[in-house]
Amino acid sequence: MFLPILAIVALFILLIIITRCSGAGAHPATSVAAQNDSLNSWAIPDVMQKPNAGTTAKRWAFKKYSDTGSLADPDNDEIIVRVLQTDGTPITATLWKTDSMASNLDNPTDTTTFPTASGWRALERLGTGQYECYYGVANDATEEALTVEYGYTESSNLYIRAVSTSVRDLQDDIADLHTNMQKSEDQQEATVTLTTQNTWYDAFELDSSDYVYEGSVSIDFEASQSYEVRITTNKSTDGPNPVAAPVIDATHTKRVYRIEETPYVKVEIRCITASSKSADYRRNLSFRRNSGGAASS
């Protein structure tokens, strides 16, 4: 009889402990932390595009839920926000109540926890657990990365979280992309006049730290004359790199030279046997962004 009675008493004590831990007497911090980590949502664009003119309002929205999934407010019915530049400087002048951008956000009720001098402002409350503000982006705004911190107190516990966004001029990005696409193929035809015998004349020179060139250059010479072509692909090299073999007779009036990947290329031509001659060249090159590891040939 003694063992069954002891088991019943132990079960009764266990039920009392479980009831106290899960009932009204439970400490609120555990519940609040769970709400903060999994039961709020924050909608803010990763990139805020600058307009072509004027100022545009970007909506930021916040919703807070209880541990049962219902919309709920924190203490003082306030969600507090601030915007920081990369050096920690707060921005407040561009935080607005509505998309008309007529009134800036109000100061928090609790300025001790959320001091206004540190940039904290109270979001506009739309209803239970629903808050918003508008960030004004001007056409002349600085392109920069921003940190957005939001916080609130619940049952006197303080919670602060951070997300990131940035101000960008996407029109510039699109224009750069368009320009790069246009420049991806480089074709040119021209005539080089070789006025003086045995003197080097430039056909063309490409010198870029942004792009790497490759492709070919074909050159047409006048018949029955002797020519040389010098192609330099290393700007620091003094002299030919390499020097092509001379073209001597009519059977060799055209040569094609390969240009390997290089950010610098210079093509020179000279006529060894006569003055007042010419050569026609056609370059057919492509180029890509220079990653810093271009090879020279």
Per-residue pLDDT tens digits for 84-133? 999 999 999 999 999 999 999 999 999 999 999 999 999 999 999 999 99
CA atoms 156, 162, 163, 167: torsion sign = positive
All residues at 6 or more sequence positions from 223 whose CB lies less than 8 Å from its CB, including other chains:
249, 250, 253
Domains of the chain (ranges; CATH) run 29-171 (2.60.40.1930), 186-289 (2.60.120.1330)
Cα–Cα distance, 279 to 213 (Å, whole number): 23
What 3-state class would DSSP assign to 2? helix
Note if the pTM is more than 0.85: no
| Residue 221 bridge partners (DSSP) | 279
Residue-wise pLDDT tens digits, 241-265: 444 555 555 556 788 888 888 888 8
Residue-wise pLDDT tens digits, 273-296: 899 999 999 999 888 877 654 333
Tell me what the mean pLDDT of segment 43-49 comes to: 90
